[in-house]
Amino acid sequence: AQKVTQAQTEISVVEKEDVTLDCVYETRDTTYYLFWYKQPPSGELVFLIRRNSFDEQNEISGRYSWNFQKSTSSFNFTITASQVVDSAVYFCALTPLYSTLTFGKGTMLLVSP
Amino acid sequence: KAGVTQTPRYLIKTRGQQVTLSCSPISGHRSVSWYQQTPGQGLQFLFEYFSETQRNKGNFPGRFSGRQFSNSRSEMNVSTLELGDSALYLCASSLAAGNRGDTQYFGPGTRLTVL
């Protein structure tokens, strides 16, 4: 069985601070996919990134960056120069090949002006 | 391209009633998955349909059922509602079967309240 742990339940920062959201996963499969989703107060889960287990390259997209490390089973997400609009709940998720998507409990990020 | 749509957005039912939720996937997507989100349990997988066939089912009682139509639209049904069924029900669609690692795109959800 697979598992995703997001140890940070809630994080509060002030605008323009950098913030890192942690994600640790467990799976016995060698082929798997990792995801990050954002859930603003409206409720809709917004897809941010998808990574497969064979691609450990870090990725940067604007103010967002992701650090995937298989050695520590982690897939951390950093927001640089946070903005109030980044306030949301962020979910990390894992799906081994031929299995279903498992979500972490989520991290609520509150960015204050 | 239009995103995933779900209807209705809000529902209030009483215990013992049944409810049907509807989901229209992104055009061209053939897989639809359903999730239940509650404050206590988080996001939990309900079931997945691909080409009108249920491919996977989560650990939920038989009161929860679903189906998919030939146009990929999906419905889920909950019979004999219980208070604990109050939740946000999210539908997601993907191009291929979700259990092949394809990205799932979510709809806005249906907020079900059981009184």
Interface test with B, best of A92, A100, A103, A108 (most B CBs within 10 A): A100
Per-residue model confidence (pLDDT) at position A97: 84
Rounded to an integer, the average pLDDT of A6-22 is 97
Residue A110, SS3 per DSSP: strand
Verify whether the Cβ–Cβ distance B104 to A101 is below 8 Å.
yes
Per-residue model confidence (pLDDT) at position B98: 61
d(CA A98, nearest CA chain B) in Å? 5
Rounded to an integer, the average pLDDT of B107-112 is 96
Q: Cα(A63)–Cα(B62) distance, rounded to whole angstroms?
A: 44
Instruction: Give the contacts of A49 (CB within 8 A, at least 6 positions apart).
Output: A35, A36, A59, A61, A64, A66, A77
Per-residue model confidence (pLDDT) at position A72: 95
Rounded to an integer, the average pLDDT of B72-90 is 97
Per CB-CB distance under 8 Å, the chain A contacts of B95 are: none
Per-residue model confidence (pLDDT) at position B33: 95
Go through B12-22 and write b for each residue having 16 or more CB atoms within 10 A of its CB, e for each that does not: ebeeeeebebe
Kindly state whether B96 is in contact with chain A, defined as any CB-CB distance less than 8 angstroms. no
Model confidence at A107: pLDDT above 80: yes
Q: Is the CB of residue A21 less than 8 Å from the CB of residue A81?
A: no
Per-residue model confidence (pLDDT) at position A8: 97
Longest dimension (CA), chain A: 43
Model confidence at B100: pLDDT above 90: no
Go through A12-34 and write b for each residue having 16 or more CB atoms within 10 A of its CB, e for each that does not: ebeeeeebebbbbbebeeeebbb
Per residue in A80-96, pLDDT (tens digit) is 999 999 999 999 999 98
Rounded to an integer, the average pLDDT of A8-18 is 97
Residue B109 has its nearest CB partner, among A31, A44, A95, at A44
Per CB-CB distance under 8 Å, the chain A contacts of B36 are: none
Interface test with A, best of B104, B112, B113 (most A CBs within 10 A): B104
Query: Which residue in A has a C-alpha nearest to residue B57's C-alpha?
Result: A100
pLDDT band at B11, cuts 50/70/90? very high
Q: Mean pLDDT of all residues in chain A?
A: 94
pLDDT band at A30, cuts 50/70/90? very high
Per CB-CB distance under 8 Å, the chain B contacts of A45 are: 90, 92, 106
Q: Give the pairing type, strands A10-14 and A107-112.
A: parallel
Model confidence at B1: pLDDT above 80: no
For chain B, give the percent of residues with pLDDT over 70.
Answer: 98
Question: What is the token pair recorded at B70?
Answer: 């030939």
Per CB-CB distance under 8 Å, the chain B contacts of A91 are: 43
Determine if the peptide bond prior to B8 is cis (ω within 30°): yes
Rounded to an integer, the average pLDDT of B10-23 is 98
Instruction: Give the contacts of B15 (CB within 8 A, at least 6 positions apart).
Output: B81, B82, B83, B114, B115
Rounded to an integer, the average pLDDT of A33-60 is 91
Residue B101 has its nearest CB partner, among A44, A46, A97, at A97
Rounded to an integer, the average pLDDT of A42-62 is 90
pLDDT band at A79, cuts 50/70/90? very high
Verify whether the Cβ–Cβ distance A102 to B45 is below 8 Å.
yes
